[in-house]
Amino acid sequence: MIEKILIANRGEIAVRIIRTCKEMGIATVAVYSTADRAALHASLADESVCIGGPLSKDSYLNMNAIIQAACNTGCDAIHPGFGFLSENSAFARLVEECGLIFIGPSAKLIDLLGNKSQARKIMKDNGIPVIPGSKETVTSVEHGKQIAAEIGYPVMIKASNGGGGRGMRLIHDEAEFVEQYNNAKAEAKACFGDDDVYLEKYIENPKHIEVQLIGDKHGHVIHLFERDCSFQRRHQKMIEEAPCHILKEEMRQKLFNDALKACQIVGYYSVGTIEFLVDKNDNYYFMEMNTRIQVEHPITEMISGVDIVRLQIQVAMGNKLNIKQEDIKQNGYALECRINAEDMNKDFAPCPGQIAFMHIPGGRGVRIDSAIYNGYKVTPYYDSMILKLITFAPTRLECIKKMRVALSELIIDGIETNAKFHYYVMYSREFIEGRYDTGYCDRFIKELKDNGSIV
Ligand code: MV4
């Protein structure tokens, strides 16, 4: 049994987790940095503990301070949320060694799936389609050039332990190979402390589709349908929708089956997401598996009727999944706009400051996940996402119209936000028709600059 959980995170996800804990009758302990003394998560939790200075490395990444706080307050478990320590296997291992439950998969699974090259190999060996590329890591320039010639240029070189687009380079032809290979290796070493890289054929402007999964510790796994996360800027998602509008039913079933199979192969448990790339010719490829709860989980909750955090906590306790695949029915459409404290007229630069006044939209099918309030000071230390605006309706068009109404009601004064940008997107023809890929956000920004809507 879990009776008390420490939430090793901040912002809206910490608030999100605390809410479900309260509903389940589980006591909560928040941790906060000195920059977050006035943060909402710290006041909503039953107890809160200051764990260090403003810089993440001194607080939300400070494993010893977090585990000490959990032990001192008598917690049974730690929920890592997303980002920070959520996919850090050393942390998961340390938590378990201290006799606490890590609310996530085992350290072994985090390691296995965190190594993208290894995950790729396992999936390929088990018949799941992966992007054509190197079988394992690339060990020399000569080895790399040989593989690139076989799969054909352009190719991508990626860090085995990478993610978020870092340690990743596009190579157009053999003349560029040495330079980009060295760049990717250097960036991988600097970002991830490991310079292993692998090669893949370059897929131009793919769609990014991911399947939400949840497994228990007894070998049962179910999926909660897919999300389309193709609307991204600089590898940061901005808008997500569920289900994917243009996915054909036949491919959808294949994605679900392969995602479930991938989990069975590695014995996955806890919540997780399998990311696929879909190319223009309707080929799909396994790309990577995320072993955490994700920012965009609310849209899946809206269409599936499942509280994903509740299930995550239940399976962490060792409970069997209490729902069967056939009991979960997809219903309606959901959209999420990530509202960031950033200035879209300054190349979307982060824009911290004090919220002088705010008004949040409401009504049927409108959900807000946020940790801001009137007078709250957005600090420069953490991610600039301050609010997730989620709409839910029977059809996609109604959902878009609901998002327009909600965005038009939203007021956040005192700081710049990207809300207006989202409003423009909700009137974009390509978006409305669902005809957008991972290159669309940049094209749309250019369009807005060209017509003077943004500078
Ligand atoms: C790719 C790709 C095209 N071809 N790999 C970006 C982040 C990292 N997770 C993988 N990414 C990509 N890998 C091959 N072989 C294009 C991207 C990519 C991308 C992927 C998903 C969502 C948005 C993206 C934006 C730019 C590039």
What pLDDT is stored for residue 15 in this prediction? 99
Question: Using a 6 Å cutoff on CB, does residue 202 contact ligand 1?
Answer: yes
> What is the tens place of the pLDDT at every residue in 330-349?
999 999 999 999 999 999 99
What number is the average pLDDT over the span 133-147? Answer: 94
Q: Are 3 and 27 in contact (CB under 8 A)?
A: yes
What number is the average pLDDT over the span 410-421? Answer: 98
Measured in Å, residue 59 CA sits from the centre of ligand 1 at: 31
Question: Using a 6 Å cutoff on CB, does residue 437 contact ligand 1?
Answer: no
Handedness of CA 356, 299, 275, 5 (dihedral sign): positive
Measured in Å, residue 165 CA sits from the centre of ligand 1 at: 7
What pLDDT is stored for residue 416 in this prediction? 98
- State yes or no: pLDDT of 446 exceeds 80: yes
- Per-residue confidence at 167, pLDDT binned at 50, 70, 90? confident
Q: Are 410 and 384 in contact (CB under 8 A)?
A: no
- State yes or no: pLDDT of 94 exceeds 90: yes
Q: How far is residue 147 CA from its own chain's centroid?
A: 31
Q: Enumerate residues 6+ apart whose C-beta is below 8 A from 36.
A: 10, 42, 59, 379
> What is the tens place of the pLDDT at every residue in 365-406?
999 999 999 999 999 999 999 999 999 999 999 999 999 999
Q: Are 384 and 341 in contact (CB under 8 A)?
A: yes
Measured in Å, residue 382 CA sits from the centre of ligand 1 at: 24
- State yes or no: pLDDT of 239 exceeds 80: yes
Q: Are 103 and 78 in contact (CB under 8 A)?
A: yes
What number is the average pLDDT over the span 240-267? Answer: 97
For a substitution probing ligand 1, which of 277, 284, 289 has the most ligand atoms within 8 Å of its CB?
Answer: 277
Measured in Å, residue 333 CA sits from the centre of ligand 1 at: 25
- State yes or no: pLDDT of 34 exceeds 80: yes
- State yes or no: pLDDT of 27 exceeds 90: yes
- State yes or no: pLDDT of 326 exceeds 80: yes
- State yes or no: pLDDT of 268 exceeds 90: yes
Q: Look at residues 218, 210, 272, 220 and name the one whose alpha carbon lies nearest to residue 244.
A: 210
For a substitution probing ligand 1, which of 131, 287, 296, 444 has the most ligand atoms within 8 Å of its CB?
Answer: 287
Question: Using a 6 Å cutoff on CB, does residue 238 contact ligand 1?
Answer: no
- State yes or no: pLDDT of 164 exceeds 80: no
Give phi and psi for 447, each to the nearest 5.
-60, -45
**Active-site choice (292, 338, 396, 429):** 292
Question: Using a 6 Å cutoff on CB, does residue 235 contact ligand 1?
Answer: yes
What pLDDT is stored for residue 24 in this prediction? 98
- Average pLDDT over the chain, rounded to whole? 97
What number is the average pLDDT over the span 45-52? Answer: 98
What pLDDT is stored for residue 163 in this prediction? 80
Q: What percentage of the chain has pLDDT greater than the value 90?
A: 98
What number is the average pLDDT over the span 267-295? Answer: 97
Q: Are 115 and 415 in contact (CB under 8 A)?
A: no
292 is catalytic: yes
Question: Using a 6 Å cutoff on CB, does residue 276 contact ligand 1?
Answer: no
**Tokens 């394992």 correspond to what residue?**
136
Tokens representing 93 are: 């291992």
For a substitution probing ligand 1, which of 180, 187, 192, 203 has the most ligand atoms within 8 Å of its CB?
Answer: 203
For ligand 1, atom 23, name the residue with the nearest CA.
438
Question: Using a 6 Å cutoff on CB, does residue 439 contact ligand 1?
Answer: no
